[in-house]
Amino acid sequence: MKPVQVIAVTSGKGGVGKTSVSVNLAVSMAMSGKKVMLLDGDLGLANVDVMLGLQPKYNLADVIEGKCTLEDTLLKGPGDLLIVPASSGKRQMAELTQAQNAGLIHAFSDLHRSLDVLIVDTAAGIADSVITFSQASQEVIVVVCGDPASMTDAYALIKVLNRDHGVKRIQILANKVHNAIEAREIHENLRRVSERFLDVTLNLVGSIPHDEWLQRAVRRQKAVVDLYPNSISAEAFKTLAKKINQWGMPKGARGNLEFFVERLVSVDHRTLVSTAA
Ligand SMILES: Nc1ncnc2c1ncn2[C@@H]1O[C@H](COP(=O)(O)OP(=O)(O)OP(=O)(O)O)[C@@H](O)[C@H]1O
């Protein structure tokens, strides 16, 4: 099986549109012919399924508790997108024990699906699960909008990912912007401060305009790229998907989801080592 491109979508601050971005990027890539799986990695406050109006029978929490397999949880979205839902409101699921992490890794190794892309919608903030998913992914997209709190929290997340966890490249996605200049300013502000204090490359991967059609789609529990494909945000998501479709595949990955699983394991191992030291 061929390697899978794993992309974590995260944000620092909550409410900036991280889940909207994950869902619409995943649907756009799926509609362009890629085999895409979207994993709801917000283990405490999941809402990918709500955004797509789906009713999961099982979720990731059930997999971690050994009640079902990962395959049992899978839901179908537009463009044959596969969705792994998480459980909402189970605050105790927000942080996993080592044994639960191991169970999760096992569940992924057991999934025999041919995929091109895995998108992980992480929680907001700098919780351990956010760091673990980001570190295990080949690319990390940080969603930021123009308000100062969003930029401050995005920088705090970038700092932790870079300084403490060695993430060297981060993709910035400016959301809810009013023009291209605003997107460039958001990127430039973050880049300037990161270049001064950190050892990280910040790339502006794209921007999504503030769009009432997107809000309408959220209320109707559909992806804007599916419901209003000609809206300005849908067009921006399609452009973003095209750009990301051109990213290269990871080097050295040997099989389906193997790269992701291997990195999760090694992140786990490092955590164990640093706890023991
Ligand atoms: N480009 C956009 N234009 C207009 N509204 C947007 C845009 N992106 C997101 N929103 C709105 O912002 C709100 C928050 O979006 P979303 O739930 O995706 O954020 P989030 O960062 O995932 O939040 P949380 O951290 O709580 O999971 C939604 O009501 C959505 O309609």
Residues 125 and 44: beta-carbon distance below 8 Å: no
Pairing state between β 139-144 and 75-76: unpaired
Q: For ligand 1, atom 19, which residue shows the shortest CA distance?
A: 17
Centre a 10 Å sphere on the Cβ of residue 255 and count the other Cβ atoms it contains: 13
Tell me which residue of 121, 198, 188 sits closest to 157, measured CA to CA: 198
Tens digit of each residue's pLDDT, the chain (277 residues): 677 888 999 998 889 999 999 999 999 999 999 999 999 887 767 789 999 999 999 988 888 888 898 999 999 999 999 999 987 665 444 466 767 767 777 787 778 788 899 999 987 777 777 787 888 888 999 999 999 999 999 999 999 999 988 899 999 999 999 999 999 999 999 999 998 999 999 999 999 999 999 999 999 999 999 999 999 999 999 999 999 999 877 666 555 576 676 666 565 444 433 333 3
- The predicted model scores a pTM of 0.90
Going from the Cα of 264 to the center of ligand 1, the distance in angstroms, rounded, reads 28
Q: Which two tokens stand for residue 78?
A: 């537009």
User: Would the annotation count 252 as a binding residue?
Assistant: no
The backbone torsions φ and ψ at residue 38, rounded to the nearest 5 degrees and listed phi first, read -110, 120
> What is residue 266's three-state secondary structure?
helix
User: Would the annotation count 15 as a binding residue?
Assistant: yes
Expressed in angstroms, the distance from the first to the final Cα of the chain is 38
Q: Which of 218, 219, 227, 238 to mutate to test the pocket of ligand 1 (most atoms within 8 A of CB)?
A: 218
> What is residue 66's three-state secondary structure?
coil
Going from the Cα of 191 to the center of ligand 1, the distance in angstroms, rounded, reads 24
User: Would the annotation count 32 as a binding residue?
Assistant: no
ipTM of the complex: 0.97
CA distance 150 to 118: 25
CA distance 234 to 147: 23
Ligand 1 pocket by Cβ (under 6 Å): 11, 14-20, 124, 175-176, 208, 210-211, 214-215, 218, 233
Instruction: Identify the structural domains of the chain with CATH numbers, from first to last.
Output: 5-276 (3.40.50.300)
* Residue 39, beta-bridge partner list: 84, 120
